[in-house]
Amino acid sequence: MTESILRVEPGMVAIKEIGKPLKKEFYWKPILTTTYRTEDVWIKDIKNVVCDSVEKHMRSDVAVGCFLSGGIDSTIITTLASEHHPGIKAFSIGFEEDGYSEVDVAEKTAKDLDIEHHVSYLSAHSYKEELPKLLWHLDDPFADPAAVPLYFVAKEASQHVKVVLSGEGADELFGGYTIYREPISLSPFNKLPPSLKPVLAKLAHLIPEGVKGKSWIERGITPLENRYIGNAFMFKETEKMKLLKSYNSLYTNGRITDAIYQQSVGEDPIQRMQHIDLMTWLRGDILMKADKMTMAHSLELRVPFLDPYVFEVASKLPPEAKTTNGTTKYMLRKAFADRIPAHVVARRKLGFPVPLRVWLRNEWFEWVEELIRESEASSFLNKSFVRELLYEHAREEADHSRKLWTVICFIIWHQVFIEKKYDIEKWITDIKDQDKQPFCSIG
């Protein structure tokens, strides 16, 4: 039974005095406000705090490296780090499938910066084979596909350095997700009289699925609190009713986000979306996987964008400093446009894409089918619905890759921790042996 076990939340301290109930207090909460300054002042402030943070995070008595993707966040960190230490090593990982790798961009960046660059490629087979051990390191039934490439790039980096800098946090602080532009595209609905919205709802219901405009109308007439659940949103409530054997209508997605939205009533929609992601996605996914996937290889991860002084500046940025001119992280891009390689400045965000969609229709199809059939997690999951998702995906009737991946991770997590199908003692021995290996810094 785990009903009475709770986590101490980020920014919280728990105090237990003898004979008294447990007391929990927040000593810090991320609060987003708006301050209007000239663009030149914002650029100066952002440059100062980010440059200072990278310099501080470079301080170490062991070798420091950088994770480098094709995106602007890691490029800024790597560029500034290379200015302090020209011999720094950068690490990237990619896939052989077209459209799922930023390695070529990262290689060009490394060449422009004249730094040592280590590149690894991940196959469908190695991705699948390492998944049980990876979920053991994560502890939870964690289903972000980006955790796997992060695990492998950390493994490579650990052969060369003991500390890595990474770009986590920039998206949440500076407005880096494309979805943050949605309030702009839906702004015409704000001018409509409330009485017209039920009419539009009926109209949207009559429009067939897949027809352009249907989703736009539905989202436009839906309040932000019901429309944006955050980056971790995966299954609709109607889908959860089909998936879960013991669906509880009290545990909806809104049960998590409603209280968070209450903290930002009256604020700009973009800030409210950022706040949701700061309180859920960043701390529950981004930082959790970054910490556990690096520590799985005894590698220390440092995140300069999440320095308190960087947050202090970023938290005051007005909405137009984030999503202006059809881009994201507008002011952050502007601040470092003259400093980082030009081919990265205006590049659209790709994230950390994984070819799940392709693999589930090809290399992985039979493996997943067998996984579903043999799983002992049937007391939790409706297998027929999961198979339905798999077959629809294989027939290319829909893209269920992220939904399927969520279920796959739960099934394997169940095998590791509940069914005890794997030799965990051997994994522990391997880690102990790895930690005994002497570390030698080259260069």
pLDDT at 437 over 70: no
Q: Which CATH architecture has domain 32-177+270-353?
A: 3-Layer(aba) Sandwich (3.40)
Cα gap 58→65, rounded to integer Å: 9
What is this structure's pTM?
0.91
Task: Give the mean pLDDT of the chain.
Answer: 91
Buried b (16+ CB within 10 A) or exposed e, 301-336: bbbbbbbeebbebbbbbbbbbbbbeebbbbbbbbbb
**pLDDT tens, position by position, 57-104:** 999 999 999 999 989 999 999 999 999 999 899 999 999 887 777 899
Asked if pLDDT for residue 341 goes beyond 80, the answer is yes
Residue 158, pLDDT > 60, answer yes
| pLDDT above 90 as % of the chain | 77
Q: Where are the alpha helices (DSSP H) in 114-175?
A: 124-129, 131-138, 147-157, 170-174
Q: In sequence order, which ranges of 175-236 are alpha helices (DSSP H)? A: 182-185, 197-206, 214-220, 224-227
**Cβ atoms 291, 281 nearer than 8 A:** no
Rounded CA gap, 336 and 332, in Å?
7
The CB-side HSE value for 220 (13 A sphere, CA atoms) comes to: 24
Alpha-carbon gap, residue 99 to 72, rounded angstroms: 18
Amino acid 2: pLDDT:
62
What is the per-residue pLDDT for 439? 43
pLDDT in tens, 7-52: 888 899 999 999 999 999 999 989 999 999 999 999 999 999 999 9
> Of the candidates 313, 254, 304, 297, which has an alpha carbon nearest to the alpha carbon of residue 427?
297
pLDDT at 349: 67
Q: Where in the chain is the domain with CATH 3.40.50.620?
A: 32-177+270-353
At 251, the pLDDT band (50, 70, 90 cuts) reads confident
Looking at residue 403, its amino acid is K
Chain-centre distance of CA 226, in angstroms? 21
